[in-house]
Amino acid sequence: MTYHNLLFVLAAFFAVWAVMARKLLTSAIMLALVSVTVSLIFFDFGAPWAGVFELSVCAGLITVLFIGGVSLIRTEEEKRPEGRARFYALPLALAAFAIAAWFYLPPFFEELAGAKVLVSGGGTIGAALWGLRRPDLLGQVLMLAAGVFVIKSVFPRRTEK
Amino acid sequence: MSAFAMDWYLIALVIFTGFYCMLASRSIVRQLIGLELISKGAMLTVISAGHQTSNLVLAQALLITMIVIEVVVVAAGLALLVKNFRIHGTADIWKLDGLKG
Q: Give the model's pLDDT for residue A122.
A: 67
Q: Give the model's pLDDT for residue A64.
A: 92
Q: Is residue A123 part of a domain?
A: yes
User: SS3 sequence, chain A?
Assistant: CCHHHHHHHHHHHHHHHHHHCCCHHHHHHHHHHHHHHHHHHHHHHCCHHHHHHHHHHHHHHHHHHHHHHHHHHHHHHHHCCCCCHHHHCHHHHHHHHHHHHHHHHHHHHHHHHHCCCCCCCCCCHHHHHHHHCHHHHHHHHHHHHHHHHHHHHHCCCCCCC
Asked if A124 and A61 sit in the same domain, the reply is no
Q: Is residue A139 part of a domain?
A: yes
Looking at the partner chain, which of A41, A57, A118 has a beta carbon nearest the beta carbon of B67?
A: A57
- Residue A161, pLDDT > 70, answer no
Span A12-70, pLDDT tens digits? 999 999 999 888 899 999 999 999 999 999 999 989 999 999 999 988 899 999 998 88
ipTM surpassing 0.95: no
Given pLDDT bands bounded at 50, 70 and 90, which one contains residue A128? confident
Query: Candidates 1.10.287.3510, 1.10.490.20, 3.40.50.150, 1.10.260.40; correct CATH number of B3-89?
Result: 1.10.287.3510
pTM: predicted TM-score of the whole model, two decimal places = 0.90
Span B55-82, pLDDT tens digits? 888 889 889 999 999 999 999 999 988 8
For residue A128, give its domain range: 119-161
Give the pLDDT mean for A119-129. 73
Cβ contacts from A onto B, under 8 A: 244
- In total, how many domains does chain A have? 2
Given pLDDT bands bounded at 50, 70 and 90, which one contains residue A129? confident
Rg (alpha carbons) of chain A, rounded to whole number: 21
Q: Which of residues 49-108 of A touch B (CB under 8 A)?
A: 49-50, 53-54, 57-58, 61-62, 65-66, 68-70, 72-73, 76-77, 80, 82, 86-87, 89-90, 93-94, 97-98, 101-102, 105-106
Give the pLDDT mean for B19-36. 91
Given pLDDT bands bounded at 50, 70 and 90, which one contains residue B92? confident
> Which of B1, B33, B53 is the best substitution to test chain A (most A C-beta atoms within 10 A)?
B33
The backbone torsions φ and ψ at residue A37, rounded to the nearest 5 degrees and listed phi first, read -65, -40
Cβ of B9 within 8 Å of Cβ of A87? The answer is no
Calpha distance A46→A38 (Å, rounded): 13
Q: Give the model's pLDDT for residue A112.
A: 83
